[in-house]
Structures are given as structure tokens and as C-alpha cells.
């Protein structure tokens, strides 16, 4: 029997703050809550209750993702959302990359519980021409080199796997498909960030979201100095400040 892998340093889930407004943070594919920690700390300082779960298969070793399904990831995020909603008067969701797709998925599935969403480099499309080979490749190759640490700022690093497990990558495609099918059901305001120089998720993802979300309040914000993991990059403070202001604006309008 294989021993369970220990948690990578810095990859643990976290909860911060005690405000009446809650924000669920969702990390990306092969990543960890570490990529969301600075954002969470900033939101907590701004008066929000923040929760960031560690998605199943993440934060240990890439092999642990091989048996996880996309519903395991959305299920863990749903459980965290339920917890926040039970103790907060108003709840928002924010996600990075795959976490942005999960934020959209949960907003569609919990229309009465989510007051707004914010995404950073949301991955709802897969335009890699090799993607159609995944159903076959996942049986032939266990993994490929990873896509972590796409960060422009020197000295900043992401706690993430250095390999991309192909079975899990096929599950990501299924999650993206399920999310796209639900976008028209999302009526809450959305603040979307995307780096112009993102080497992992093409900017066409933000344009696609803007066109297909059911909300009549969709705000787009281009990031000029960052790469994909913008929550750890040069533009992070812009993301932190503008998302907090956005959530506070929505909270004040609901009074």
C-alpha cells in the first residue's frame, strides 16, 4: 500500500478574517493555496472572511492527481462555499486559472448564495492543439512537464507541481466543458483580470467569458506587467485592491 504523501511546505489550506462578507478563493490546476495567500491576507485586512481550500490531489505530489476527478475539485470548493455562506451575510468567489473556472461553475450552481465573482487568468477554454489527444495520451504517458511559475517578478515563486498529470488534464477539459455550458446562468456581477502576456492561458479566455456570461455587469481589467500567476506578480496589489473595492461596492448596493 502506498503511503500518503506529505504536504508540500506552504501548500496548506487557510482561513483568515472574521468579517460578515466572505470570499472563497480557489487556486489553479497543479497549484496550491500558496498562490492565493497574499490575496487572502489583503482581503482579510480589508474586513472579509476568507477561505481557501486545498483541492483534492494537490499540494503533495503530482501522482496524487491521477485518480482525482473534476467533481472532486468542484466538490471541495462547494464544501468551502457552504461553510462560508453559513457564517457570512454575503459571499463572493474569486479564482485563479482553473480556480476561475470553478468560481464560474459554483456561481452558476449556487445562484442564491453567490453575490459576485472575480477571476484572474480564468481557464475556461483549451486551445492547445494537443488537447484532443488527451483521451489517448493519458493511457500512454503519465505526465508532461508542468506549466507552473509563469511569473514575471524576480524572486516570486509558486508552490505547484513541476509535472502535468495527463489523466488530471483530461479531467480539466471536462471541467471546462461543464463550466462553459453553465456560463449563461451566471447573472451576478463579474470582475475579470487577465495578463496580456500570459504564457499559460490565452487572453481569448477573458473575451469568451465576457461574451458568454449571463451577467449584464461584466468588468474587464487587463494586467500589463504580469504573467499567468498574477496573484504573485507585479500587478498583484492592483488585483487585491480592485477586487476588494468591487466586492464592497456590491455589498453596499445590496443594503
Contact, 178 vs 105, CB < 8 A? Answer: yes
| Interval 68-124: pLDDT, tens | 999 999 999 999 999 999 999 999 999 999 999 999 999 999 999 999 999 999 999
For 14-253, CATH gives 3.40.50.1820
Domain boundaries, the chain: 14-253
In this prediction the pTM is 0.95
Q: Is residue 198 among the annotated active site residues? A: yes
Active-site residue (options: 64, 150, 198, 233): 198
Q: Is residue 162 among the annotated active site residues? A: no
How confident is the model at residue 2, as a pLDDT?
Answer: 47
Q: Is residue 228 among the annotated active site residues? A: yes
How confident is the model at residue 151, as a pLDDT?
Answer: 98
How confident is the model at residue 133, as a pLDDT?
Answer: 64
- 163 phi and psi, to 5 degrees? -130, 150
Active-site residue (options: 35, 49, 97, 118): 97
> How do the pLDDT tens digits run along the chain, 255 residues long?
344 579 999 999 999 999 999 999 999 999 999 999 999 999 999 999 999 999 999 999 999 999 999 999 999 999 999 999 999 999 999 999 999 999 999 999 999 999 999 999 999 998 776 666 666 566 667 788 888 899 999 999 999 999 999 999 999 999 999 999 999 999 999 999 999 999 999 999 999 999 999 999 999 999 999 999 999 999 999 999 999 999 999 999 876
Active-site residue (options: 228, 233, 235, 243): 228
The C-alpha atoms of residue 223 and residue 158 are separated, in whole angstroms, by 18
CA-wise closest residue to 51 among 65, 37, 61, 63? 37
Amino acid at each position: 500500500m502506498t503511503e500518503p504523501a506529505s504536504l508540500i511546505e506552504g501548500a496548506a489550506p487557510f482561513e483568515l478574517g472574521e468579517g460578515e462578507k466572505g470570499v472563497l478563493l480557489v487556486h489553479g490546476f497543479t497549484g496550491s493555496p500558496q498562490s492565493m495567500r497574499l490575496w487572502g491576507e489583503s482581503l482579510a485586512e480589508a474586513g472579509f472572511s476568507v477561505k481557501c481550500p486545498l483541492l483534492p490531489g494537490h499540494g503533495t505530489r503530482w501522482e496524487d492527481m491521477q485518480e482525482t476527478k473534476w467533481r472532486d475539485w468542484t466538490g471541495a470548493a462547494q464544501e468551502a462555499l457552504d461553510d462560508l455562506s453559513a457564517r457570512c451575510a454575503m459571499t463572493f468567489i474569486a479564482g485563479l486559472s482553473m480556480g476561475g473556472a470553478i468560481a464560474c461553475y459554483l456561481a452558476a450552481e449556487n445562484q442564491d448564495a453567490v453575490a459576485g465573482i472575480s477571476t484572474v487568468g480564468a481557464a475556461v477554454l483549451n486551445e492547445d492543439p494537443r488537447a484532443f489527444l488527451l483521451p489517448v495520451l493519458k493511457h500512454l504517458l503519465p505526465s508532461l512537464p508542468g506549466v507552473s511559475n509563469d511569473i514575471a517578478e524576480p524572486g516570486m515563486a509558486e508552490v505547484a507541481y513541476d509535472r502535468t498529470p495527463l489523466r488530471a488534464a483530461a479531467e480539466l477539459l471536462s471541467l471546462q466543458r461543464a463550466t462553459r455550458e453553465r456560463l449563461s446562468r451566471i447573472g451576478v456581477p463579474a470582475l475579470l483580470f487577465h495578463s496580456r502576456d500570459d504564457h499559460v492561458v490565452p487572453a481569448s479566455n477573458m473575451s469568451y467569458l465576457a461574451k458568454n456570461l449571463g451577467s449584464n455587469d461584466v468588468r474587464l481589467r487587463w494586467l500589463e506587467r504580469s504573467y499567468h500567476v498574477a496573484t504573485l506578480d507585479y500587478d498583484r496589489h492592483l488585483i487585491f485592491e480592485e477586487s476588494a473595492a468591487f466586492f464592497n461596492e456590491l455589498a453596499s448596493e445590496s443594503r
